[in-house]
Structure 1
Amino acid sequence: MALNDVLTPKQAEVLHTYLTVPFKMMINVGAVRAGKTYIDNILLMYELRRVANLAKKRNDKHPQFILAGASSGSIYNNIIAELSRQFGLDLRPDKHNHYHLFGVDIVPVYTASIAGLSGARGFTSYGAYVNETTLANREVFNEIRNRCSMEGSHIICDSNPDIPTHWLKTDFIDNHDPVAGIITYTFTIDDNTFLDPDYVTSLKASTPKGMFYDRAINGLWVTGDGIVYQDFNKDTMVIDDSEIPDGLEYYCGVDWGFARGHENVITVMGDDPDTDITYLTDIFSSTGKYIDYWVDIAHQIQEQHGYNINFWCDSARPEYVSYFQQKSINARNADKSVMDGIEYCSQRIKMGKFKILRSCAKPFLDDVFQYVWDPVKGVPKKEHDNVMDSFRYGLFNQHKRVENTAINSIYF
């Protein structure tokens, strides 16, 4: 079997560099589905073999190597499970949650928060593999670097790109001092020559333009530019009320508020099961109203669309969510993940799967064209976001629930 049967040209280049060029840190970053994790898992195998040989020469009976990721779950999903698929390895954690291969003690370190710092302290490592590096807490990452003090130690990193001011880019990727020993490879979606061309074409067509496209497809370190929902087109997406189909499956998003500029908003949406189009059918927005007012609004929505309708609520006011539940309203805490939610909503808009009734369009239109990216932080500014948050809570969480239910019905 030839090398090009198992590795793309970019992966082969990375492997050749690993085997022939001295380095301290190798960073593989770029687009989704570009083949980064696949080659990094191969490098991990080489690293563990290298560490085992070094330890044998040094008569080290307990060599350690760091396997770092945002959480235990991400380490298992992105690395351990993939090693099983790639190499047929069945790695099982010991009582300390460590893994073992080739006589090397593989120590997991969780990087998503400062709490992972304790797991990275107190030992010397022959190297590290850091998955999803842009999600890592900077202090934890620095501590991992400190642990890798054995002569000839390597740190392998992979990640999708983030904002251009992210510390991984400014401190490491942009550090071209040869003494630092940092090598970087950037992957685009087209570097994965094993992907089905139809899949790539579809992925490019369905990925929202702007920041999401530049990061996910081109592997670029960019921040948002202009409005968040760049693909929203009021000429095609705002429709007459008479165009709404029958048989919609309704749900709501709720963003709590009270003062001017921080209005309370409930958006009502319905999915057409035949076309998979979401229709925004009503927006209730007001200031200075207490919770009983919103209970009455919720009851009106229930009377119109059914008493089992979901209300995906801002979890910042748990007492309001609880009060809704006491009043027989099916209130649920929404997953408020900003970037995941915006990416999903943007994709629905990009694919033409979102419409809004003309009768309720004004509050949405007032916000959507002023809902813009913060060019420094890489997230939306906290302005004109009340309708946008309510819309995102409902659309993202309802579809996340439906998709998870479908997955569970298949596998469980």
Structure 2
Amino acid sequence: MLDSLPLSRKQIRSVAESTTKISCWEGAIRSGKTIASLLKWLIFIANAPTTGELVVIAKTSQTAHRNLFLPLQDPALFGDITKLIHYTQGAPTATILGRTVHVIGANDAKAEPKIRGMTLCGAYVDEVTLVPQVFFEQLLGRMSVKGAQLFCTTNPDNPAHWFMRDWLSQEGVKPLRRFSFTIDDNPFLDPDYVRDIKAMHEGLFFRRFILGEWVAAEGAIYDSWDRERHIVSSLPKAGIHRWISLGVDYGTKNPFHAVLIGLGVDRKLYAAAEWRYDSRQKRRQLTDAEYSQRLKAWLGEVPQIGPVRPQFITVDPSAASFSTQLQRDKLRPTPAKNDVMDGIRTVSSLLASNQLLVHESCKDLITEIGGYSWDDQAALRGEERPIKVADHGVDALRYALFTTRTLWRHRLALAA
């Protein structure tokens, strides 16, 4: 099997040397760690103890399908062996090399009972830092079969994260082997892709996702933000190709903030306009119906733009009653995807590659982007969290961009 795959020396060594109780492939994105770990997982299953059960763990069954089973079932990667890998998206089990493998989502601590009572001989964990600690410890406790092994992958996180503190840093003390990768460890990537992906990351995300370093989040979140570079006084002369979305961060006592996103004919994204209502400044709270009507009226004649019908209105997922009101008013809301770190990374990459520009009329959003910072006290606890102050516009921006990324991602110009 090793001879039939294009593998780097580092990948081959990791497959050969991952013989301890726990083996972890960690490091940069697209560095080859997942393919190496999946190859080892297949080799393990082919020779696994006949007693005990096998499990694949991911944040959700959807991520298990996308991150693991799509590559496992790709003949270009694993050749004829894919004929022996059977999985339907969303199913609770897969069949790999004739063995039944349970597929479990571990999105939060409530997932821990899913593996109680199991006796395991093998486990594969995708993005282990996203798995709750109590779940991981229960998983290890279930691996009582002689010869049982656990294989896992992860991108770098906060150096105070429990998995680094209690496991990766204990290599040689605990039965764990750590294989670290950078993006340059994958010799099969197109050099133009490597150049572009490096250009799309700066600061924290460059060090983590390109260099593979475990570094703490500190200081400004959008550290590539440059008022001279990112603020524009006009939209592209050729026009806006499509009004992608209106991101809405709902507030009653806190400000209500909406940000309009357009995809320019020049293949860049524009935060083109904002609508904001601060009940503390106005000394009057609005009802859901009033917010909806005012937002609808604003979209009917956006200043300096005219009538706009965005393809999506992405709304703070906690604002259920407001979404219901929007539906009554025929505005078709979509619950925003509130994956904070992934959303921040998306916005950060767009700013770093100069693919997101902000119109000068978005004065409140501009003020918030420059001051948006990490919570230092949370970082000391191994958590990554923005300071919850003056973040309504940046949250609306994140909702609008991250929720609709499949619409605009393939249309953007390549990073300079």
TM-score band, normalised by shorter chain: 0.7 to 0.9
TM-score by length of 1: 0.85
Deviates more, 1:160-169 or 1:271-280: 271-280
* C-alpha displacement of 1:126: 1.7
Asked if the contact 2:236–2:265 (Cα under 8 Å) also holds between the matched residues in 1, the reply is: no
Q: Letter of the aligned partner of 1:193 in structure 2?
A: P
Structure of larger gyration radius: 1
The alpha-carbon distance between structure 1 residues 72 and 370, as it changes in their structure 2 partners (threshold 3 A), is same
**Once the two structures are superposed, what CA deviation does each residue of 1:322-380 show, in whole Å capped at 9, x if it has no partner?**
1122223343322222122222222221222223333x243123212221012312221
In the alignment, the residues of structure 2 paired with residue 398 and residue 80 of structure 1 have an alpha-carbon distance, to the nearest angstrom, of 24
Task: Output the CA distance in 2 between the equivalents of 1:268 and 1:371.
Answer: 19
* Structure-1 residue corresponding to 2:20: 23
Report the counterpart of residue 267 of structure 1 in structure 2: 259
The match for 1:76 is 65
Matched residue, 2:195? 201
Deviation of 1:217 after TM superposition, in Å, equals 0.6
1:13 corresponds in structure 2 to 13
Change (3 A) 1:37 1:275: closer
Mapped partners of 2:47, 2:327: distance in 1: 58
User: Which structure 2 residues correspond to residues 24-103 of structure 1 after superposition, within 5 A?
Assistant: 24-51=21-48, 54-55=49-50, 62-85=51-74, 86=78, 87-92=81-86, 97-102=92-97
1:293–1:177 distance in 2 versus 1, CA, 3 Å: same
| Correspondence 1:11-410 to 2 at 5 A | 11-18=11-18, 23-51=20-48, 54-55=49-50, 62-85=51-74, 86=78, 87-92=81-86, 97-102=92-97, 104-178=99-173, 180-207=174-201, 209-241=202-234, 246-247=239-240, 249-250=242-243, 251-259=245-253, 262-287=254-279, 288-291=284-287, 292-304=289-301, 305-306=306-307, 308-309=309-310, 310-358=312-360, 360-375=361-376, 376=379, 377-402=383-408
Amino acid at match of 1:281: A
- Name the amino acid aligned to 1:289: Q
- CA shift in 2, pair 1:238/1:316, >3 Å: same
Cα offset for 1:248? Answer: 5.5
Query: Structure 1: how far apart are the matches of 2:16 and 2:70?
Result: 25
Instruction: Name the structure 2 match of 1:410.
Output: none
Runs of 4+, deviation exceeding 4 Å: 1-5, 93-96, 241-245, 401-404
CA RMSD of aligned residues (A): 2.8
Percent identical among aligned pairs is: 23
Aligned residue pairs: how many? 389
Distance (Å, rounded) in 2 between the aligned partners of 1:102 and 1:249? 47
CA contact (8 A) 2:69 2:87 kept: no
TM-score of the pair, normalised by structure 2:
0.84
For 1:29 and 1:330, the matched residues in 2 are separated by: 41
Q: Check conservation: 1:269, 1:282, Cα contact below 8 A.
A: no
Residue by residue, what CA displacement relative to the aligned partner does 1:168-193 show, whole Å, maximum 9, x if unpaired? 11110011353x21111111101111
Gap runs ≥5 in structure 1: 56-61, 407-412
Deviation larger for 309-318 or 213-222: 309-318
Relative distance call for 1:128 and 1:356 in structure 2 (3 A) is closer
Question: What's the CA shift string for 1:233-267, capped at 9, x where partnerless?
Answer: 111222324876644633422111122xx211122
Q: CA deviation at 1:382?
A: 1.0
1:266 and 1:285 in contact (8 A); partners too: no
Give the SS at the match of 1:88.
helix
Contact map agreement 1:271 1:279 (CA 8 A) in 2: no
Separation (CA, whole Å) in 1 of partners of 2:93 and 2:271: 49
Q: What amino acid sits opposite 1:280 in the alignment? A: A
Q: What amino acid does structure 2 have at the position aligned with 1:354?
A: L
Deviation of 1:148 (Å): 1.0
* Secondary structure, aligned partner of 2:83: coil
Which segment drifts farther, 180-189 or 273-282?
A: 273-282
Q: Which amino acid aligns with 1:30?
A: G
Deviation at 1:300, TM superposition (A): 2.6
Structure 1 position 118, deviation (Å): 3.0
Q: Which runs of 5+ in 2 are unaligned?
A: 412-416
Structure 1's 196 and 402: CA in aligned 2 closer, same or farther, altered over 3 A? closer
Q: Which amino acid aligns with 1:317?
A: A
Q: Secondary structure at the match of 1:40?
A: helix
1:296 to 1:102, Cα distance in 2 relative to 1, 3 A: closer
